[in-house]
């Protein structure tokens, strides 16, 4: 059995398996990715990142969801990848670019005493046009507060892409984000028929005019 050297990173609650694939040919099957990301029987992760060489940037990010499907990119994942690359001497500069399926992203790395303290990524301009997110809702130029119904439950969704699709739902006054069954509704919304490429799902509770819980 072939051994695979990997690292495990966590960014803002999302965890990732990161593998250096810059040397030679390296590929994983969909089944392998699913097994590795399985949180009961595998390593456990929200996604898997292959770090590859690039002809147009410092490095290339190949990102897979936990179900083995390939995705455009992941904001938390690309920050973890940048730290992995810096700490493993795959890059020397603290200002780099990474090629993704959503375009080239610029990264800045802040260090103190040669240790990474902060990583920032320029995600670009948010995309609001439904056809470019993508979300299949006709006769709309933007998807704000749009009502859908799943299993007789109504949701008012807001859709945006920052390299990959996101469905954002603001809780109503009096609702508590800690009581939302995220695994149930997150899965159903992620796979809802209007999202041809699936979607990330965020529930947001407004605490005050300066704070949000997500």
What CATH code is carried by the domain that includes residue 71? Answer: 3.10.310.10
pLDDT at 2 over 80: no
Rg of the chain over CA atoms, in angstroms? 18
Residue 2 lies in a domain: no
Report yes or no: 199 and 167 within 8 Å, Cβ to Cβ: yes
Q: How many domains does the chain have?
A: 2
Per residue in 90-110, pLDDT (tens digit) is: 999 999 999 999 999 999 999
The tens digit of pLDDT for each residue in 166-206 reads 999 999 888 899 999 999 999 999 999 999 999 999 999 99
* pLDDT for the residue numbered 102: 93
Residue range 108-154, pLDDT digits in tens: 999 999 899 999 999 999 999 999 999 999 999 999 999 999 999 99
Q: What is the pLDDT of residue 114?
A: 86
What are phi and psi for residue 132, nearest 5 degrees? Answer: -100, -5
* Whether residue 108 sits in one domain with residue 136: no
Contacts of 185 (CB under 8 A, 6+ apart): 150, 153, 155, 201, 203
Tens of pLDDT, residue by residue over 49-86, are: 999 999 999 999 999 999 999 999 999 999 999 999 99
Our CA angle for 66, 136, 192, nearest 5°, is: 40
d(CA 82, CA 11): 11
pLDDT at 1: 57
Residue 1 forms part of a structural domain: no
Q: Which of 83, 102, 122 is the last residue of a domain?
A: 122
């Amino acid at each position: 059995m072939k051994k695979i050297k990997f690292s495990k990173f966590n960014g803002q609650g999302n965890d990732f398996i990161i593998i250096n694939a810059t040397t030679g040919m390296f590929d994983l099957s969909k089944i392998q990715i699913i097994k590795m990301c399985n949180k009961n029987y595998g390593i456990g992760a929200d996604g898997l990142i292959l770090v590859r060489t690039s002809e147009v940037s410092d490095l290339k990010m190949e990102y897979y969801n936990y179900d083995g499907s390939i995705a455009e990119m992941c904001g938390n994942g690309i920050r973890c990848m940048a730290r992995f690359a810096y700490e493993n001497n795959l890059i020397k500069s603290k200002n780099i670019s990474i090629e993704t399926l959503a375009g080239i992203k610029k990264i800045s790395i802040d260090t103190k005493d040669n240790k990474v303290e902060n990583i920032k990524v320029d995600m670009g301009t948010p995309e609001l046009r439904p056809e470019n997110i993508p979300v299949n809702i006709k006769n709309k130029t933007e998807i704000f507060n749009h009502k859908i119904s799943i299993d007789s439950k109504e949701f008012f969704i807001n859709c945006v892409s920052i390299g990959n699709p996101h469905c954002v739902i603001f809780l109503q006054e009096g609702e508590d984000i800690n009581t939302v069954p995220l695994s149930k509704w997150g899965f159903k919304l992620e796979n809802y028929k209007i999202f041809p490429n699936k979607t990330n799902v965020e529930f947001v509770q407004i605490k005050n005019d300066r704070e949000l819980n997500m």
